[in-house]
Amino acid sequence: MNYEMPKADVGEIVLFYVHENADPVPALVCKAGSRTLNLFAMSGELGVTLKPSVHHVTDEGVNEFPEWKKYGLWEHRAKDPAVAILSERVSMLEKKLAALSPKKG
């Protein structure tokens, strides 16, 4: 698996899904790893819950290792949902193009 998670910065607000069919809740990135984020997800009216090891919704590894799904999923939020979708599609296309092009050097 050569998956590269979309970039997310500490302090950024993303959307967290408890499971694939759940409604998203806002979450604050408190730690960014190479493949997962640790998030403080909103819970209840005034609470937050620490969510460790959360994979991005495009991470195909969650299908190979279904136990990863128990940590939930995340994706970027945007004021215009079309911008978020296009941004993630461009990122995926760039990665595919890079994989197809011959290595230099």
pTM for this structure? 0.71
The mean pLDDT value for 1-5 works out to 82
**Residue 28: pLDDT over 90:** yes
Q: Pairing relation of β-strands 73-76 and 13-17?
A: antiparallel
What's the pLDDT score for residue 41?
96
Q: How far is CA 72 from CA 2, 34, 55, 99, in A?
A: 21, 17, 7, 28
What's the pLDDT score for residue 97?
85
